[in-house]
Amino acid sequence: MSKSYKEIMNDITTFVLDVDGVLTDGTIHLTPEGEMLRNMNIRDGYAMKAAIENGYTVCIISGGSNEGVRVRLRNLGITDIHLGVADKVETFKEFTDIYNIKPEQVLYMGDDLPDYWVMQLVGLPTCPQNAAPEIKEISKYISHKDGGTGSVRDVIEQVMKVQGKWMEHFNAQYD
């Protein structure tokens, strides 16, 4: 009998996230100079920062290579930021080897076909509500939120709640 996604959440120590379509809504605004601008959700940022402060590892693996994205994520305390990645499986394996992380300890959130093969390797593949059908099919949890509108906050908050760390984090700030 396979575990429910809530049971799997007990084992999660690491969040690996795509950017476009997960941390953003997947749209790109182009400036006259050709610069590509993206929107990110502030609540996703809060959740990633809370996860890091509670000892979770957060890693970004994206095919996109916007340096503004790197700056935003570094400001949240994320140090493992892999942008411009052509082979997400190879990058994922290198990352987990360096930190000695077991794939079953990883929640991966992706939204489209470049995420498909790496999602097959992790303990908890997840996606936003508006992910591609092929990604929804292999996900053990589909957020009720679209990419860029709080789907990352949704999964991180759920994991931290299952492990009893969500309000513990918040309360510790005011003790």
Kindly give the parts of the chain with pLDDT less than 70: 1, 169-175
Over residues 7-58, the pLDDT tens digits come to 999 999 999 999 999 999 988 889 899 888 888 999 999 999 999 999 999 9
Within 10 A of 114 (CB to CB), how many other CB atoms are there?
A: 20
Q: What angle do CA 5, 92, 57 make, to 5 degrees?
A: 65
* pTM of the predicted protein model: 0.94
d(CA 85, CA 87): 6
In the 8-state DSSP scheme, what is residue 108?
A: E
Contact 7, 101 (CB under 8 A): no
Contact 109, 18 (CB under 8 A): yes
pLDDT score for 122: 98
